[in-house]
Amino acid sequence: MASNNAVQISADEIALYDRQIRLWGIEAQERMRAARVLLVSCRALSNEVAKNLVLAGIGALTIIDHAIVSSEDLGAQFFIEESDIGKNRAEASLERIRLLNPRVNVTADPDDISTKHADFFGNFDVVVAVDVQLKNLLDINAKCRIHSTPFYAAGDIGLYGFIFVDLIIHTYTIQRDRSNIATKIGPETETRTVVDVTWKREGPKITETVTKTESYKSLKESMASKALSKLRPRQQLKVSPVLAATFAMWNYLSQNQDKPRTIEEFAAFQEFVLQATRDLELPASMITREFCVSFAASIGTELSPVAAVLGGVLAQDILNFLARKEQPIQNWVVFDGAATTAPIYAL
């Protein structure tokens, strides 16, 4: 994993990031200022992530995307223009991203991510893969784990979307008012452990600083999890169908060249969703034909409002991770724009 040592920031930067420093503290801002982030792909959701990270003042952002700008890219993205059609997508976005915050070192890489050796991912403090096929997500995640590089995956699927997080083992702190019940050192959940607790008194108020570690599974391990099968039947029925549909989308596209377009293809996709539901050991009754048709029609599309919501959540969790503040996502978020829900599932 790349070094993430804090760097001293200037007085100008302290003034620029004053609100963030008040929220996180100077040490957290310094850690973010030293961070090197790799962003894989440059589409609508990637634009939102890049914008939020650059404005927050990370140290360096590398955007890798071998795709060429087409007219379809103009609908939901804001770092490219019509004059960029025919150019490399990452390089076309570069200058407009740099203008957001000249203090951040932003670079573009026009290579295909699948050609990168595992050592490449060891140069970064976190890797964020957005709107990438499952085959490449699994490959990137595996290569990141060789160098203990934290990994995020996310996708904007029209009305729907997801975020997956693999921080391997992450240590962070939470500050809160001390309660009457003492915080115990030791395991808190299957993935979370309290390792230290300190207190600070300011007048009648006592502030508690809790240090925790969170352990994660890889994307491959997570997709094979049966954790949701342990829920009570009523809880299982409340699990968002977006999770199974996302897995089904990847399986469907691995066997078909395009998203469903005909009645027969929609029916076939629904069978993929039902199979993914069975693989998760969830009840098939939670899947409806209407949902499957809506989700299938959303595959391959980008909606700016959904990208903005997902991008905000994703970028905030990345910044929390870099600052080592607040509890990170463990480990899936699925977004349902039709139902306006975004539950978190630990798989």
Position 18 scores a pLDDT of 66
Collapsing DSSP to helix, strand or coil, 337 comes out as coil
Q: How many CB atoms lie within 10 A of CB 109?
A: 19
Burial of 166 (0-12, 13-18, 19+ CB in 10 A): buried
CB 164 within 8 A of CB 155: no
pLDDT at residue number 247: 97
What mean pLDDT, rounded, does the chain reach?
91
Task: Output the CA–CA distances (angstroms, integers) from residue 299 to 87, 293, 325, in the order listed.
Answer: 25, 10, 34
What pLDDT, on a 0 to 100 scale, did the predictor assign at position 113? 96
For residue 1, is pLDDT > 60? no
Q: What share of the chain is helix, strand, coil (3-state, %, to 5)?
A: 45, 20, 35
Give the distance from CA 257 to its chain's centroid.
Answer: 26
Distance CA 281, CA 108 (A): 42
Task: Look at the block and give the residue holding tokens 């590398």.
Answer: 62
- Residue 11 pLDDT > 90: no
Is pLDDT at 16 greater than 70 in this prediction? no
Please state the pTM of the whole predicted model: 0.91
pLDDT bin (cut points 50, 70, 90) of residue 5 is low
Average pLDDT rounded to a whole number, residues 313-326: 93
How confident is the model at residue 181, as a pLDDT? 83
Interval 187-209 mean pLDDT: 89
Tens of pLDDT, residues 71-129:
888 887 889 999 999 999 999 999 999 999 999 999 999 999 999 999 999 999 999 99
Strands 169-177 and 160-166, bridge-based pairing: unpaired
Per-residue pLDDT tens for 17-68?
666 766 666 777 788 888 999 999 999 999 999 999 999 889 999 999 999 9
Tell me the pLDDT tens digit for each residue of 260-315: 999 999 999 999 999 999 999 999 999 999 999 999 999 999 999 999 999 999 99
Report the share of the chain in percent with pLDDT over 90. Answer: 76
3-state SS, residue 19: helix
Closest by CA position to 209, among listed 222, 218, 196, 220: 196
